[in-house]
Amino acid sequence: MKSDRLAEAFQYIDNQFLELVDTERSRKKPFWTYGGLVAAGLLLAVILFSVGAMANNWFGLRELLLNQRGIDWGDPNTRGLVWEDLEESGENTAGKGTWQNDVIGLAGAKGSKEAMALEEWQAFLESYDRDGSVLREADSDGISYENEGLYFVYSQEMDDKLKEIAAKYGLKLHTQMDIVCLPELAYRVGGTFWTNEPGPACGYIYEDGSFQVDLSYHAEEGWMTDYQLRRVVKGTLDEVALGIGDIEEYEEWIYQTRGGEQIILAMGSVKALILGDFEDCFVTANILEGTDEGFTKEKLEQLAAGIDFSILKAVKIPDMRGDVAFEEDFYLLQNGITPSRYAQEDEATAGQDGNGQGSASDGTDAAVGTAYPRETSKKGRYGAYYALLYELYHEKTWPDGTKCEFNFEGDMWRMEDNDFALSDVDGDGEEELIIMFPTSTMGGMEGRVYGYDAETESCYLELQEWPGFRFWDNGVVEVMLSHNHGPACESLWPFSIYKYDASEKRYIYQGTAYGFDKELSEELSKELGEDYTGKYPEEVDEQGYGTVYYIMTDGYSEDHPISREAYEEWLQQYYNGAVTLTLPYWKMTEQNIWAINVYE
Amino acid sequence: MKDSEIVALYLERQETAILETETKYGKYLSTVVWRILRDESDTEEIVNDVYMRAWKAIPPTIPENLKLFLARIARNLSFDRMSYRTAGKRNAIQVELDESVPAAESGPEEAWEAREIGEVLNRFLGELDRKTCAVFVARYYYAFSITELAKRYGLSERQAKYLLQKTRGKLKEYLEKAGVTL
């Protein structure tokens, strides 16, 4: 076989490449031997600044440490998130020993009044109400305290202690907190503080400009990660602390941002951190994965480079105009239109959430101000896409005149819970309109891909399937099936493959893949009432992988199982070095639909 | 004992050379072999064969890097044993490398020798970043499993598979551009 000759050629690999197998393994290294993607100039800057940092006593994780705590898994009095999580999960923790959970404060470096106040407040909380009796009484006494809701306060004693600590260190206490969507947060903070589109997000902001938001970072290379970004404005008592596991396992280094800010990056096995101590605020990014999950120092630096600290460190007092949790409400407010749900806030009482959203009764969202016309002057591709989405949103009608099966019973769904994207998924050099429509019954959910015909000035359908798309950059799309009607398989959810045909201007079905795990055949027998034990085709699975596959091109059939090698050979003809596409999905809001008009 | 001192024992034909080699590299060689063969008794046998081959090869060969020299012998013997054991059935490494085989040539070109292909392969590896190169070589030279690659290089298994797949594709393009015929 030709690949045998290629495999044989590997024996002639130079020693310099064989040595990399050892030298490039993931482990702690002195930063001056750190390789990767750091440009030589930046590396030199890091070295110089780290030397300077030692001279100026730059902070590190240890400067933020509140206490080092070993969590005794068998001790019911152990406080902290770990124990609460375990209680909820019902996990049996007997005999599991201790787990190190060091806690850092996020209010400022050691010695600052914010850090000292936090430490004192946290120490008080650690020792207070250890048997929970006060809390149990508070749940039913109906009494509210001044700082309840903004702080972890549920008794007068706690309220008094909080005020005492704040006064001792000359700090203010928070007085208001609003729930905000990302555009609203950017407006209040003073600008867009990210350089990589994080997708829809929601957070909260205080009257002094302190805030927290959960974001996703989507790298151009295709990887993504979730993180929490928190800014604590100095001068106010902030009570949030963070458990980081074992502080000893973290590797820390100084990173200089493009704006010239010096921040600390810290990499652990289950978590990574970005820490910035500025004159008016302290900023933390808590990345929810570490080296155990394959997160790397390079990725951490890439994520740090995607945050604009020049915006974050310039604290301004925000416009506390109440909760603005929905993006369409933000855009209406910016255009001087008061969202209807705000005007109706006083009328609607029962069943409302804190945002004052009324419940839908006729299938549409509580009447948001309709500031956007059906007809626009936009022509061509994007004008056609706008018209298509407008009809879908307002009339629940697809271009072919059929009604979409929008499930609007009660207030289960809103049109805004659907998504759309503009992206060249079929490789023809032009952007298609991709619509993901899950707001329906199982049978009514669908995903669609529309192209645009410039000659007829109309949209045409390229693909209509279950909304479980994964596009590849070679015109192939993988579509997950809604149900697995086949044999049980842990490692493979059945999927179909379609390939774009430029001459037919549509995606052509290639086949559907199912898997069958031998070890599940007994379970399957019980579930289906049919004897699957003994049905596993051993003769096909010569290598003993324990899984066989079926490629079905003409309806469901278990007649022709194939081996893993044959399955991977079938896959490779479609993937063949292609990479998956990360599409920039937008929520199907009026504002987002309107935004298509600005496309060139 | 330093490598240069061990090599000197070979050159002086002192049988303690093998003992010293075993002391310093026995565990390492066992790991290299086991990773390919995944069998205890075969591993022991092959590692002993490595010592014998080294004894026969030095001199005239004087290895610049004794560890890698021994690893090469171990690797080659292991793959030979695997081919014998599987009676010609293809292993996972060969199946994966299928993706890197250049597209069929149009004319009746003569197939390149493995050594010639090796030279092209080295140029290709030289153009990769260090980590990708390490992962690729670890897989196709030392036959690390995906799980081992992930742990060693701080990746998830999915990331390791993706990295290998991407690099196999690049290798194919590289071999095609170089006009390699297999």
- Please give the pLDDT value at position A324: 82
Residue type at A476 in one-letter notation: V
Residues of chain B with Cβ-Cβ distance to A7 below 8 Å are 79, 93-94, 97, 140
- Please give the pLDDT value at position A486: 64
Question: How would you write the pLDDT of chain B (182 residues) with one tens digit per residue?
Answer: 888 899 999 999 998 999 999 999 998 899 888 888 878 888 888 999 999 999 988 888 888 889 989 999 999 888 888 776 665 555 667 777 888 888 755 445 556 788 888 999 999 998 888 888 999 999 999 988 887 887 777 776 656 776 788 788 889 888 888 888 77
Give pLDDT tens digits for B39-86: 888 888 899 999 999 998 888 888 888 998 999 999 988 888 877 666
How far B98 CA sits from the closest chain A CA (Å)?
Answer: 5
Yes or no, beta carbons of A4 and B75 under 8 Å apart: no
CA distances from A385 to A332, A352, A470, A500 (A): 22, 34, 21, 20
- B165: nearest CA partner in chain A: A577
Yes or no, beta carbons of A23 and B134 under 8 Å apart: yes
CA A21, A24, A28, A30 dihedral sign is positive
CA distances from A192 to A183, A196, A213, A416 (A): 8, 10, 13, 23
List for chain A the helix, strand, coil content (%; round to 5): 30, 25, 45
Nearest to B137 among A18, A37, A579 (CB): A18
CA distance A534 to A541: 13
The DSSP 8-state label assigned to residue A73 in this structure reads T
**Six-digit token string for A446:** 């669908």
Yes or no, beta carbons of B129 and A37 under 8 Å apart: yes
- Please give the pLDDT value at position A589: 85
CA distance A239 to A124: 11
Strands annotated E in A165-271: 177-181, 202-206, 211-218, 224-233, 241-243, 251-256, 262-267
Nearest to A24 among B90, B130, B142 (CB): B130
- Please give the pLDDT value at position B42: 85
From A232, A242, A244, select the one nearest A280 (Cα to Cα): A232
ipTM: 0.83
Residues of chain A with Cβ-Cβ distance to B99 below 8 Å are 572, 576-577
Taking the C-alpha atoms of A269, A271, A275 and A280 in order, what is their torsion angle to the nearest 10 degrees?
-160
Yes or no, beta carbons of B97 and A19 under 8 Å apart: no
Identify the helix (H) or strand (E) that includes residue A574: helix A564-575
How far B164 CA sits from the closest chain A CA (Å)?
Answer: 10
How far A40 CA sits from the closest chain B CA (Å)?
Answer: 15
Is the separation of the CB atoms in A214 and A202 below 8 Å?
yes
CA distance A93 to A74: 6
- Please give the pLDDT value at position A319: 92
- Count the neighbouring beta carbons within 10 Å of the beta carbon of residue A434: 23
Yes or no, beta carbons of A11 and B152 under 8 Å apart: no
Yes or no, beta carbons of A576 and B169 under 8 Å apart: yes
Nearest to B137 among A17, A37, A569 (CB): A17
- Count the neighbouring beta carbons within 10 Å of the beta carbon of residue B33: 26
**Six-digit token string for A129:** 């109400």
Cis peptide before A30 (omega within 30 of 0): no
Count Cβ atoms within 10 A of the Cβ of residue A504 and give its class: 0-12 exposed, 13-18 middle, 19 or more buried. Answer: exposed
- Please give the pLDDT value at position A303: 93
Q: What angle do CA A591, A593, A596 make, to 5 degrees?
A: 110
- Please give the pLDDT value at position B105: 52
CA distance A378 to A132: 63
Nearest to A11 among B76, B169, B170 (CB): B76
Give the helix ranges, DSSP H, for A142-205: 156-168, 182-189
Yes or no, beta carbons of B169 and A7 under 8 Å apart: no
CA distance A250 to A61: 9
Helix axes A2-9, B114-126, angle to 10 degrees: 60
Give the helix ranges, DSSP H, for A227-363: 297-305, 309-313, 327-334, 340-343
Question: How would you write the pLDDT of chain A (600 residues) with one tens digit per residue?
Answer: 567 778 888 988 998 899 889 877 754 322 222 233 233 333 333 333 333 333 333 468 888 888 656 555 445 444 333 333 333 334 444 444 555 678 888 888 888 899 999 989 988 988 888 777 777 666 556 566 777 768 888 789 999 999 999 999 999 999 988 888 888 999 999 988 987 767 667 788 999 999 998 888 888 777 888 888 999 999 999 988 888 888 888 999 999 988 889 999 999 988 899 999 999 999 999 998 888 888 999 999 999 999 999 999 999 999 998 878 777 678 777 777 666 555 444 344 333 333 333 333 333 333 334 557 777 777 889 999 999 999 999 888 899 888 887 655 444 467 877 889 999 999 998 999 999 988 776 677 889 999 999 999 999 999 999 888 999 989 999 998 877 666 666 677 889 999 999 999 999 999 999 888 887 666 656 655 566 667 788 889 888 888 889 999 988 888 899 999 999 999 989 988 888 888 888 888 888 888 887 665
CB neighbour list of residue A54: distance below 8 Å, 6 or more residues apart: none
Is the separation of the CB atoms in B55 and B18 below 8 Å?
yes
Whose tokens are 């009484």? That residue is: A137
- Please give the pLDDT value at position B80: 81
Yes or no, beta carbons of B114 and A11 under 8 Å apart: yes
Identify the helix (H) or strand (E) that includes residue A424: none
Residues of chain B with Cβ-Cβ distance to A17 below 8 Å are 122, 125-126, 133, 137
CA distance A270 to A100: 12
**Six-digit token string for A35:** 């390789």
Taking the C-alpha atoms of B34, B38, B41 and B42 in order, what is their torsion angle to the nearest 10 degrees?
-70
Strands annotated E in A47-184: 65-67, 70-72, 98-100, 103-105, 177-181
Give the helix ranges, DSSP H, for A335-379: 340-343
**Six-digit token string for A221:** 């290379």
Is the separation of the CB atoms in B43 and B34 below 8 Å?
yes
- B150: nearest CA partner in chain A: A294
Residues of chain B with Cβ-Cβ distance to A35 below 8 Å are 130-131
- Count the neighbouring beta carbons within 10 Å of the beta carbon of residue A544: 7
Interface-testing mutation among B61, B95, B119, with chain A (most A C-beta atoms within 10 A): B95
- Please give the pLDDT value at position B111: 64
Whose tokens are 């197998």? That residue is: A21
CA distances from A228 to A129, A205, A375 (A): 29, 13, 41
pTM of the complete model: 0.43
Residues of chain B with Cβ-Cβ distance to A9 below 8 Å are 114-115, 117-118, 121
- Please give the pLDDT value at position A218: 81
Yes or no, beta carbons of A35 and B75 under 8 Å apart: no
Nearest to B111 among A5, A7, A577 (CB): A5
How far B156 CA sits from the closest chain A CA (Å)?
Answer: 5
- Please give the pLDDT value at position A394: 87
- Chain A positions with Cβ closer than 8 Å to B: 1-15, 17-21, 23-26, 35-37, 223, 291, 293-294, 296, 542, 565, 568-569, 572, 575-577, 579
CA distances from A269 to A101, A287, A291 (A): 13, 11, 5
Yes or no, beta carbons of B134 and A20 under 8 Å apart: yes
Strands annotated E in A344-429: 419-423
Return the number of CB contacts < 8 Å for A and B.
131
